[in-house]
Amino acid sequence: MTTYRLFTTSCFVALMGLPAFAEGELNLYSSRHYDTDERLYSDFTDATGITINRIEGKGDELIARMQAEGANSPADVLLTVDTSRLKRATDAGVLQPIDSAVLEERIPANLQDSDNRWFGFSQRARIIFYNKAEVANPPMDYVSLADPAYKGMVCHRSSSNVYSQTLLSAVIENHGEDAATAWAQGVVENFARDPQGGDTDQLRGLVSGECLVSISNTYYFARAIRRDVKGLDKAAMENIGWVFPAQDAEGAHMNLSGAGVAANAPNKDNAIKFLEYLASDQAQQYFSAGNDEYPAVPSVELSPSVAALGEFKGDTVNLSEVAKNVPTAQKIFNAVGWK
């Protein structure tokens, strides 16, 4: 557990209507593992005087912990990555609905839980990357990844990964269960290797030649634009092209990081203040500048590394509805042999 305590002022206080020094503390359960998030926490304390006590862990472990703690849980906020985990948290009963005019105004409706138990605060587009020297006609949408023309070319993460689960869940929502099953089967038949590794490993597979087409979240690639990443040097990066899929249809699939107020939050008012802070321009800009993500608030300017990927249309399907398809997605993965 880490405690942060700072006592200067910040510009977002007046914008968000928060008191300069609120009393009390905030117990934050977070599965975001980025060092750059330290700035988010210190700025909130700087602006409000609210002490943040942070417990970090994997998303599913934190959800299980909150369940085990029950009514005695000290958790005020759960901050985690991906819609599927937020859905698990709601199904587990560890989040509560809240009423916030600030969040309703700032966060687009498709990035909110239908019952206001969670809100998205940053996004990553899950897009297609390819070897420019070897692939003259890359797939232009997700459906095309199942085309036999790409047999033996595709690298992807495992079916147990939340990004994989949410992508297939979005395919189900946009195209139906039968079409999603045929798509998953076709992608399996096009694998260059068994699913393995993280998103950066999918990009490294393009560099090594192990695969010619892969899928990754944008922030892994944008990070490599901004700073050195092992296995993705500048020369290698120049040979990687990218496609924002389905620009003539639903648009690129968006993952998100989101948060909700714990069901038994002992500091509920401070928890809501923290979520409202995450929706402020200051915090939204830092999601982009500090971790190469897309802000959830559409009006916020992108960092240079993110803007370098170009403009695109993102899928505006309601992610609360997408999350409901995760169990079906897992059944499809099992049926088609997606490891």
The pLDDT score that the predictor gives to residue 23 is 65
Q: Are residues 208 and 130 in the same domain?
A: yes
Q: Are residues 206 and 331 in the same domain?
A: yes
Closest among 117, 147, 151 to 259, alpha carbons compared: 117
Q: Are residues 198 and 279 in the same domain?
A: no
Q: Are residues 152 and 281 in the same domain?
A: no
Q: Are residues 189 and 281 in the same domain?
A: no
Q: Are residues 70 and 101 in the same domain?
A: yes
pTM, 2 dp: 0.85
Q: Are residues 87 and 129 in the same domain?
A: no
Q: CB under 8 Å to 101, separation ≥6 — which residues?
A: none
Q: Please, how many CA atoms are within 13 Å of residue 195, restricted to the half-sphere of its CB?
A: 19
Q: Are residues 119 and 134 in the same domain?
A: no
Q: Are residues 19 and 29 in the same domain?
A: yes
Q: Are residues 146 and 42 in the same domain?
A: no
The pLDDT score that the predictor gives to residue 236 is 81
* Residue 192 and residue 205 in contact, taking contact as beta carbons nearer than 8 Å: yes
3-state secondary structure the chain: CEEECCCCCCCHHHHHCCCCCCCCEEEEEECCCCHHHHHHHHHHHHHHCCEEEEEECCHHHHHHHHHHHHHHCCCCEEEEECHHHHHHHHHCCCEECCCCHHHHHHCCHHHECCCCCCEEEEEEEEEEEEECCCCCCCCCCCHHHHCHHHCCCEECCCCCCHHHHHHHHHHHHHHCHHHHHHHHHHHHHCECCCCCCCHHHHHHHHHHCCCCEEEEEHHHHHHHHHCCECCECHHHHCCEEEECCCCCCCCEEEEEEEEEEECCCCCHHHHHHHHHHHCCHHHHHHHHHHHCCEECCCCCCCCHHHHCCCCCCECCCCHHHHHCCHHHHHHHHHHHCCC
Q: Are residues 136 and 234 in the same domain?
A: yes
The pLDDT score that the predictor gives to residue 294 is 95
With 0-12 / 13-18 / 19 or more C-beta atoms within 10 angstroms meaning exposed / middle / buried, residue 317 is: middle
Note whether residue 59 is domain-resident.
yes
Structural domain that includes position 183: 124-252+315-336
Q: Please, how many CA atoms are within 13 Å of residue 301, restricted to the half-sphere of its CB?
A: 3
Note whether residue 100 is domain-resident.
yes
Note whether residue 310 is domain-resident.
no
CATH number for the domain spanning 19: value is: 3.40.190.10
Note whether residue 104 is domain-resident.
yes
Low-confidence ranges of the chain (pLDDT < 70): 1-23
Number of domains comprising the chain: 2
Note whether residue 49 is domain-resident.
yes
Note whether residue 290 is domain-resident.
yes
Note whether residue 206 is domain-resident.
yes
Q: Are residues 11 and 105 in the same domain?
A: yes
Note whether residue 309 is domain-resident.
no
122 conformational bin, left if phi > 0, alpha if psi -120 to 50, beta if neither:
beta
Closest among 155, 118, 157, 133 to 272, alpha carbons compared: 118
